[in-house]
């Protein structure tokens, strides 16, 4: 983990994102506690950023999530 911890997934509205997704969504800003909107529907708070995966069987499964659309949530504060 680069920031946060795996325990950040304890909350139903929390998510972990990769370093490259954090960079794509937030540039050089800190991604922690920022909101991400999934498929223009549900919002999740970033509770951790992990290092991009090396090619392994688990990471090769990650492209299955490509059908989901992740966008930066409009600025509205943090989810509590």
15-70 pLDDT, tens per residue?
Answer: 998 898 899 899 999 999 999 988 778 889 999 999 887 766 655 555 544 445 66
Residue 77 lies in a domain: no
Residue 56 lies in a domain: yes
Residue 21 lies in a domain: yes
Residue 80 lies in a domain: no
Residue 74: phi, psi to the nearest 5?
-55, 145
Owning domain of residue 8: 3-72
Burial of 35 (0-12, 13-18, 19+ CB in 10 A): middle
Residue 67 lies in a domain: yes
Dihedral sign for Cα 48, 52, 53, 58, please. positive
Q: Domain count for the chain, please give it.
A: 1
How confident is the model at residue 28, as a pLDDT? 94
């Amino acid at each position: 983990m680069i920031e946060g911890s795996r325990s950040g997934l304890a909350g139903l509205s929390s998510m972990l994102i990769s370093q490259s997704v954090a960079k794509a969504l937030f540039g050089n800003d800190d991604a922690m506690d920022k909101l991400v909107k999934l498929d223009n529907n549900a919002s999740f708070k970033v509770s951790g950023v992990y290092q991009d995966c090396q090619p392994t069987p688990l990471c090769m499964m990650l492209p299955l999530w490509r059908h989901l659309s992740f966008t930066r949530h409009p600025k509205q504060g943090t989810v509590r």
